[in-house]
Amino acid sequence: MYTKVFLETLTSFVAFFVAGLLLSTPILVYVGLVPLFFAILGIVLNQPKTVIFDRGEHKTESFTGDVIEVAIDVTIKDGLGPVIIGDELPPHFELVEGNNFKVIWKGMSEKKDNVNYKVRCTKRGIYTLEHLNWESNHILNFKETIRGESDQKQTLTVRPRTLDIRRIRNLKTIAKLPIPLGAMNKTGMSTTDFQEIRKYTFGDTFRSINWKATARRANNLSWEPYVNEYEKEGKKVVWLFIDGSKAMGQLGTTISNPFEYALLAANDLAHYYLERNCRVGFYLFNKKSRLLYPDIGRSQQYKISRELLTMTMDNEEPLRKAVEKCRKYMIGSNPLCIVITTLAERMNSDELSNIIEGVKEIAKYSKKQTRNFPPILLINVLGYYFIANSPEKRMAADILQSEETPIKRKLRKSGTIVIDWDPTEEKLMTVLLKEVRSR
Amino acid sequence: MKNKIANLLQLLSTVSLFSLAFYAFTQTSIFNLLITGLQMLCTQIPLLRSYESFLPSIFTILLYVMILLVGIFGGKGKLNLVYYFSLLLYIPVAFTFSAVNWLEILGVGLPLESFLSFNQVLLVGIALITCRLFLINLSRINEKKNEFLKRGENKVDIINKKLIIYTSAVLALSVVIAVIAMIVLVIGESAVTTFFVTLPYPLLLFGLGSTFTLIVFLYYYLRRGLSIESQQKQTF
């Protein structure tokens, strides 16, 4: 309980006292009284032992890059001396204003103070500010430091900021991208929403024949029945395959790397398609794979956002295996498959063949569309530019990037649309728009 | 800048502490003996013969230079070094008021005398120990200040000031209590001696011994009883 400093002071008294007695020198005994009384008075004074914290009302949700204000009320009940308070910040939090460390002087009366600071949340995730530590020191360092931790917690969900993907209206455009805006499922249950009147084909029920329309269109030369066509339940299926292998985090920092931008892109694309009533499925392919089967609506958006918050990189899982795992949800739906990955740092043949095989596997479940190509889109997050912070380094990144040309050529040959995205320079929307041209 | 001033103040206090001890030392017969001895040594060496009259001044300057060098290059333990050296100079002064003549016992055969009074020597002693306690605490407070600054706290000056004020207050109070205790001891010495001489020691020994044993027994008995009671409460 007592420190070395206290023992030293007492030793000083004992030394003077004993020397004075042994050498018959009263002055030394008298001088020794000063450290004795100093030690006694010192231990009578106690350091603060009761520190109460209150985090008050606080924000629970924010977006990446937002600045959050943290305010903690501190009440020190007893004791005398300095109290050191430190609120441990989670990783990826950047201190913007104020300080999460504070020293408060506690005098004779009860002390009320507060710790205020602002932090920037730099990475998505669910964070808990729970390590609010305090320690109180004895004014003369005679007693051991008392340490404590508050049980007050502040949970903060940091959501990825949206990249703003919008649809271009009122322009006669043709997209190379197989994005199924308004594309409906051709099979499935009919809804009550009228779509069109068409000629009768084999298999149509007699109940669906529109007799009035048939009569109006009938003439001497031909007589064909017409049927009412209704919208089928559900729209097109979109599958998002996100690469969660460690290769995604090899370039850049822990905050800004291809993986983080891949998640951002996935979040926005999911949001975009779900807004247009598409059924969106999600798969993160690595050893800790995560699968969300295709669904529609806000609940699916919420599920995807929540999953994205806690996703981490792990060892590689081949894309082909990932597609095989999703097989039962893909069969018959002719989905649009979007693969988000990086080709940088993947020059060995195994890794490349994994991607090509994966794309081939996806093609099995997709009906060939324009120019006999399956609807597969591969977003290649350009990794080298994350570490290129000068014109010279950008040139070097350009050269390294050119090494990806053969694999891209191979992918394009198989019908995949490959889009290169440099998040440090352009928005995802800008990149996607490059694939749109006038009719 | 503030740190430099604090360091300078610390150095000045250390030098003052040493000066006080050295002054007390110069007021003793030992100092005279030392100087005489050195003068005798100088007469034997032809080169130093002309400096004979400056010996006390040279001795003083050399000591101060030594203290300054310790102050500058002494590192962390410089305060202790100066303090122990000052204590070394002070102890002979304190011995002048000892019941035993230590010089005679050591066979020097000279009377151990001081030109300062008992109270003056006591005051120097108190000043010496007070100064040391203050300097040690001051350096500890400065260390703490630097630690706080390193951890990003900018408003450490207020904390520092408060720590110095409280430490000084506790130290001053200790000195006051010690002085009062000394006065009480000196004045009441004879009365206390008479009181203790007349005490019935055999009775006291038995009485105090049995009381102490009883207290210890009661303490353990009650403590055990309380712990059993709390255990029973937890069980229910």
Going from N- to C-terminal start, the domains of chain A cover 4-44, 51-159, 173-181+234-438, 192-231
Contact A30 B144 (CB under 8 A): no
* Average pLDDT of the segment spanning B77-98: 84
> In the prediction, which pLDDT does A412 show?
85
Distance CA B96, CA B26 (A): 13
> In the prediction, which pLDDT does B166 show?
92
Least confident of A159-168, A179-188, B10-19, B133-142: A179-188
Chain B contact present for A245, CB below 8 A: no
Percent of chain B with pLDDT strictly greater than 90: 8
* Average pLDDT of the segment spanning B214-228: 76
pLDDT tens digit string along A295-305? 888 888 888 98
pTM given for the model: 0.66
Give contacts of B156 with chain A, Cβ < 8 Å.
Answer: 103
Distance CA A28, CA A20 (A): 5
Nearest to A34 among B97, B130, B185 (CB): B130
pLDDT tens digit string along A268-316? 888 888 887 788 999 998 888 889 988 888 888 888 988 888 888 888 8
Q: For residue B161, give the chain A residue with the closest CA.
A: A105
Distance CA A175, CA A375 (A): 12
Least confident of A360-374, A404-418, B15-29, B147-161: A360-374
Tell me the β-bridge partners of A71: A116
Give the angle A286-A292-A294 at the CA atoms, nearest 5°.
130
> In the prediction, which pLDDT does A373 show?
58
Chain A contact present for B187, CB below 8 A: no
- Structure tokens, A47: 């350091």
- The answer to whether B112 touches B95, Cβ cutoff 8 Å, is yes
pLDDT tens digit string along B118-130? 888 899 999 999 9
Give contacts of A37 with chain B, Cβ < 8 Å.
Answer: 173-175, 177-178, 181
> In the prediction, which pLDDT does A138 show?
92
What CATH class does A51-159 carry? mainly beta
Chain B contact present for A309, CB below 8 A: no
Whether the pLDDT of residue A36 is over 90: the answer is: yes
Distance CA B138, CA B12 (A): 13
B210–chain A nearest CA distance, Å: 29
Smallest CA-to-CA distance from B13 within B122, B112, B142, B146 is with: B142
Q: Which CATH code fits A173-181+234-438?
A: 3.40.50.410
Chain B contact present for A24, CB below 8 A: yes
When pLDDT is cut at 50, 70 and 90, the band that residue B2 belongs to is: low
Whether the pLDDT of residue A241 is over 90: the answer is: yes
Distance CA B106, CA B110 (A): 10
> In the prediction, which pLDDT does B196 show?
61
Least confident of A202-206, A398-402, B151-155, B201-205: B201-205
Whether the pLDDT of residue B232 is over 90: the answer is: no
Going from N- to C-terminal start, the domains of chain B cover 2-198, 206-236
- Structure tokens, A157: 């969900």
Least confident of A78-92, A205-219, B14-28, B45-59: B45-59
Least confident of A295-304, A319-328, A424-433, B70-79: B70-79
A272–chain B nearest CA distance, Å: 45
Cβ-Cβ contacts under 8 Å between A and B: the total is: 103
Chain A contact present for B12, CB below 8 A: no
Distance CA A291, CA A281 (A): 8
- Checking ipTM against 0.90, whether it exceeds it is no
**Per-range mean pLDDT, top range of A337-346, A347-356, B72-81:** A337-346
pLDDT tens digit string along A344-387? 876 667 777 888 888 888 888 776 655 555 678 899 998 888 88
pLDDT tens digit string along A409-427? 888 888 788 889 988 888 8
When pLDDT is cut at 50, 70 and 90, the band that residue B191 belongs to is: confident
Percent of chain A with pLDDT strictly greater than 70: 88
Instruction: Name the B residues in 19-58 with CB < 8 Å from any A CB.
Output: none
Chain B contact present for A211, CB below 8 A: no
**Average pLDDT of the residues of chain A:** 83
Nearest to A23 among B98, B128, B130 (CB): B98
> In the prediction, which pLDDT does A48 show?
92
pLDDT tens digit string along A167-225? 555 445 555 555 555 455 555 667 777 778 888 888 888 888 999 988 888 887 777 89
Distance CA A279, CA A336 (A): 10
Tell me the β-bridge partners of A128: A155
* Average pLDDT of the segment spanning B139-158: 84
Q: For residue B155, give the chain A residue with the closest CA.
A: A103
Chain A contact present for B81, CB below 8 A: no
Nearest to A41 among B153, B156, B174 (CB): B174
> In the prediction, which pLDDT does A170 show?
47
* Average pLDDT of the segment spanning A98-102: 88
- The answer to whether A407 touches A343, Cβ cutoff 8 Å, is yes
